[in-house]
Structure 1
Amino acid sequence: MNYSLSDEALLAAKAYEELHVPALFRQFAPIVVSTAQISSGHRVLDVACGTGILARTVAATVTEPGSVTGLDLSPGMLAMARQLAPSIDWQLGSAESLPFADNSFDAVVSQFGLMFFQDRRSALKEMMRVLTPGGRLVVAVWDALVNSQAYPDEVDMLQRLAGQAAADALRAPFVLGNPDHVSELLSDAGAALVEIVTHDGTARFPDIQTMVEADLRGWLPVMGVQLHETQIALILNEAETVLSKYKVAGGQVEFTAPALIASGVKV
């Protein structure tokens, strides 16, 4: 199926895959797969799959007659996902209205997408609906902003230099960093045996410029915020001072980036 894609959407997806995935997202995919107890022959759905790092990790475990399906609202993200793993079934669609029959999947997973759903409760109920009895739902979300290193400093910098919209775009991934709230969401959706585990991940970027450009050119455009090149240059210059304390040997940037891994079972 062909989708109409803008150059901006494709560039944002490319930046997301090349910058954010290796620095942040890849490390959590095996944890989600393990928590979901995915094994050979399982049918697995990845909701809000993005460019597909979690679905690709699942595909390394699942074999026929099992299958992996990735679903996302962004044609740009799906175009990149298809390039990287054409054998996976990539579908355009909304988490709040999954285009699948009841009891279609042995496991449903979602990594760092729940924060952005228009109706989180409806989306989780849909994910439970398509799950087979006894199947597991596993959702990863970022811990609270205050528990992350570096990002609170970057948010403050964006607030000063780029304004509220840019700062809010960077705050957005952290809005579900409350274990009690996430547990309540899963329970309300019908999940049993709900468990929330914090995993202290580590963000690793080659340097400060790469880290900040990943947000300015990769993340902010995904959130609908486009900055002028003059703004970007100003922010990158300021970031060398603001984020200098997170530099390690060789000029690399490393800091703690904790995530909550939430799981539940359909009974």
Structure 2
Amino acid sequence: MAKRELRSIEMREFENPDHWDMAALHYEKTAHPFTARYAEFALGRVALTADSRVLDVAAGTGALALAAGRLGAQVLATDFSAGMVARIAAAAMPNVEARVMDGQALDLPDASFDAVFSIFGVIMFPDWRKGLAEMARVTRLGGCGVVATWQDHGAATFLLLGQIRRKLFPERVGLTMPEGVKALSDPGDFARELVAAGFRAPQIEEVTFDFNLDVAALAEPDTLFGMSPDWASLKDADKAAVIDEVRRMAGDQSNLPIPSTALIAIALR
């Protein structure tokens, strides 16, 4: 099988709701606490009240939706994965509703929300421009849209694994980031795409937090790296080499910090 075809198959896994249904519990334990830091940063840039109507598009396990709910806003969280939606619903917050919905075709009225967020969600869509346009469509005039994306090499264990693969196996093709991530990695391009989608006056900030990898978690590397096709495609000997490299990088530290930079855009409707 050609490398390009293999990469295409691996990327399609990220577009498959079944993949995310199976990953939901793992995602909630590992990714959710980290992405929540960026969600809380984004919320800190938007004034919400108990009357605010908030939409979280491609909500995952609800890092943004649940944080907005704790602020008292009326929140609808949507995701195409029933497994992800179930994890949000399990929080049983009375002001947070969760529904299965395709963010590229939101089953929602025009101009029905005061603030519409997507924290590392829309950027994963096959038609991410349609996702941005749908966000703008359902935002009321004077409301705001907030979109977070990673830089081109991703974040956390995805970023670390990519760095190590390029060092240990430079001749091998690694995971190509989704088109939306690549297209929005430059702040100027990001701003232009938001305007094209129907927003105005976008402001974009670089936000970096450390993902602290617990070195003890290397005892179960499939749990640590298992969500990445870059890990699943490695042979056992190569996986052992990756683990050795992480241990070398950590040295005597019990946690290895992985600085991960996001672009967070806030734009008016």
Pick the TM interval, shorter chain.
Answer: 0.7 to 0.9
1:255 to 1:124, Cα distance in 2 relative to 1, 3 A: same
Match of 1:83 in 2: 90
Q: 1:114, 1:210 → 2: CA distance?
A: 33
Gaps of 5+ in 2: 1-16
Q: 1:20 aligns with which of 27, 31, 37?
A: 31
- Structure with bigger RCO (C-alpha 8 Å, 6+ apart): 1
RMSD of aligned alpha carbons: 3.1
- 8 Å contact 2:69–2:93 — kept in the other structure? no
The amino acid that maps onto 1:262 is A
- 8 Å contact 1:192–1:264 — kept in the other structure? yes
The alignment status of 1:252 with 2:255, answered yes or no, reads yes
**Post-superposition offset of 1:254:** 0.7
- 8 Å contact 2:56–2:117 — kept in the other structure? yes
Q: 1:129 aligns with which of 134, 137, 142?
A: 137
The amino acid that maps onto 2:60 is G
The amino acid that maps onto 1:121 is R
Q: 2:139, 2:127 → 1: CA distance?
A: 19
Q: 2:55 aligns with which of 45, 49, 61?
A: 45
Q: 1:168 aligns with which of 170, 175, 200?
A: 175
Match of 1:183 in 2: 191
**Post-superposition offset of 1:246:** 4.3
- 8 Å contact 2:54–2:115 — kept in the other structure? yes
**What's the CA shift string for 1:60-114, capped at 9, x where partnerless?**
1124xxx100111111211222223453211111111111111110000000012
The alignment status of 1:119 with 2:122, answered yes or no, reads no
Match of 2:70 in 1: 60
Match of 1:36 in 2: 46
**What's the CA shift string for 1:177-204, capped at 9, x where partnerless?**
2212211110101211111110112111
Q: 1:140 aligns with which of 134, 148, 171?
A: 148
Which segment is superposed worse, 67-76 or 142-151?
142-151
Match of 2:114 in 1: 106
Q: 2:268, 2:141 → 1: CA distance?
A: 8
Q: 2:237, 2:231 → 1: CA distance?
A: 15
Gaps of 5+ in 1: none
Tell me how many residue pairs correspond in the alignment. Answer: 247
**Post-superposition offset of 1:217:** 2.5
**What's the CA shift string for 1:229-250, capped at 9, x where partnerless?**
xx57545422223223542764
1:14 to 1:190, Cα distance in 2 relative to 1, 3 A: same
**Post-superposition offset of 1:146:** 8.5
**Post-superposition offset of 1:38:** 2.4
1:146 to 1:131, Cα distance in 2 relative to 1, 3 A: closer
The amino acid that maps onto 2:32 is V
Q: 2:78 aligns with which of 64, 71, 75?
A: 71
Q: 2:244 aligns with which of 216, 241, 246?
A: 241
Q: 1:249, 1:104 → 2: CA distance?
A: 53
Q: 1:158, 1:135 → 2: CA distance?
A: 48
The amino acid that maps onto 2:69 is A
Q: 2:100, 2:241 → 1: CA distance?
A: 39
